[in-house]
Amino acid sequence: MTSHTEQSAVTVLGLGPMGRALTGAFLDAGMRTTVWNRTPGKDRELVERGAVGARSPEAAVAASRLTVVCVVNYDAVDAIVRRGAVTDALKGRTVVNLTADTPDRARDTEAWAAEQGIGYLDGAIMTPTTTIGTPAAVFLHSGPEELYRQHRLALDALGGTHTHLGEEIGRAAAYDIALLDIFWTAMAGYAHALAVARAEGVSARELAPFAKGIGAILPPIFEQSAEEVDSGSFSGEGNPITSAVSSMAHIVHTSEAHGIDAGVMRAAEGLARRAIGRGHGTDGFLRITEILNPR
Ligand code: NDP
């Protein structure tokens, strides 16, 4: 049985913008929070707010049953925790790794943790630092359900919504990768749109209200197309790929006429043309999912 004091203690390894936000939320929740960062000095403000600054990562992890790691990637995680003294100090304790990386790296870390007798949960943070400690934060978790249940109270101190996606450890990273795929390709599209708009004398400020409108079209598409995509049907009623590809060609021509690289749009247009070439011209644009990964 975990005591109230143990539940109220946490260690945070990594004090980049996200690690600092996580620490701030633990402190606001009244938890005894021990921190460590590779580069010294980043804990100053947190220590002023009540955090305990540890002199080494092994001292930091020894201070709590639960350690939250949040650094740039799993190479950095390994550099911190896969070292004799730190690994030894972690034995019998739990690591919640909120660092972003790939599903394979999560599986590899779980295998290492199991060999070392360390409890391991993997997680992903889907919202910016400003949301941490507020209802707007979104966390995804995967790993042993019982371990998740044991530490749920501490994780709740971070605010927002926590979803346990299952015991398969790569699950949180798999969602993270898919969701960031949406985010970064959309951001690349937005950056390209801003460049083309500026070449046509349209400022970002002028475009913004209409860009918001385009963004708002997407959520219902995600919702409505999900069943179709899962069942492998791609209705093009109302907007077949043949029509979509023509609209894409206009974007390519306009941007290249201004000497602007249209590589991102050309990639999308190329996939759409492949779908048409395979006889799917009357299907909807999401047919390209099958071109990318045939079932
Ligand atoms: P960074 O991704 O830049 O991570 C910075 C942290 O990583 C610092 O603590 C840094 O230490 C540490 N680090 C880097 N390399 C090493 C190394 N070789 N050994 C030890 N520590 C290392 O900033 P964030 O804090 O913003 O992000 C942390 C994680 O959170 C990332 O995986 C990110 O994808 C994820 N995330 C961040 C969001 C955000 O809005 N910032 C949103 C959602 C997820 P040092 O100070 O010594 O350089």
Count of structural domains, the chain: 2
Q: Say which CATH number the domain at 50 has.
A: 3.40.50.720
Is the CB of 262 inside a 6 Å radius of any atom of ligand 1? no
Q: What is the pLDDT of residue 4?
A: 45
Where are the extended beta strands (E) located within the chain? 9-13, 32-36, 52-53, 66-69, 94-97, 119-125, 138-142, 161-164
Q: How far from chain centre, in Å, is Cα 254?
A: 33
Residue 27 lies in a domain: yes
Q: Angle CA(259)–CA(262)–CA(268) in degrees, nearest 5?
A: 165
Q: Which domain holds residue 34?
A: 4-168
Atom of ligand 1 nearest to the CA of 39: 47
Confidence of residue 266 (pLDDT cuts 50, 70, 90): very high
pLDDT digits (tens, 9 = 90+) for 104-155: 999 999 999 999 999 999 999 999 999 999 999 999 999 999 999 999 999 9
Residue 240 lies in a domain: yes
Residue 111 lies in a domain: yes
pLDDT digits (tens, 9 = 90+) for 163-219: 999 999 999 999 999 999 999 999 999 999 999 999 999 999 999 999 999 999 999
82 and 32 within one domain = yes
Is the CB of 80 inside a 6 Å radius of any atom of ligand 1? yes
122 contact partners, CB below 8 Å, separation of at least 6: 96, 97, 106, 109, 110, 141, 142, 143, 169, 170, 172, 173
Q: Sort 127 into a burial class: Cβ within 10 Å, 0-12 / 13-18 / 19+.
A: middle
Tell me 129's DSSP state.
G
162 and 21 within one domain = yes
Q: What is the pLDDT of residue 1?
A: 41
Confidence of residue 5 (pLDDT cuts 50, 70, 90): low
pLDDT of residue 262 exceeding 50, the answer is: yes
Is the CB of 160 inside a 6 Å radius of any atom of ligand 1? no
Residue nearest to atom 8 of ligand 1 (CA): 16
75 and 24 within one domain = yes
pLDDT digits (tens, 9 = 90+) for 58-84: 999 999 999 999 999 999 999 999 999
Q: Which residue has the tokens 């409108």?
A: 213
Q: Say which CATH number the domain at 261 has.
A: 1.10.1040.10
Q: What is the pLDDT of residue 2?
A: 47
Would you state the structure tokens that stand for residue 145, as one six-digit string? 């359900």
Would you state the structure tokens that stand for residue 103, as one six-digit string? 């599903």
Would you state the structure tokens that stand for residue 248, as one six-digit string? 């894409």
Residue type, 231: S
Residue 229 lies in a domain: yes
Mean pLDDT, the chain, as a whole number? 96
Which of 22, 56, 72 for mutating ligand 1's site (highest number of atoms within 8 Å of CB)? 72
132 and 47 within one domain = yes
Residue 246 lies in a domain: yes
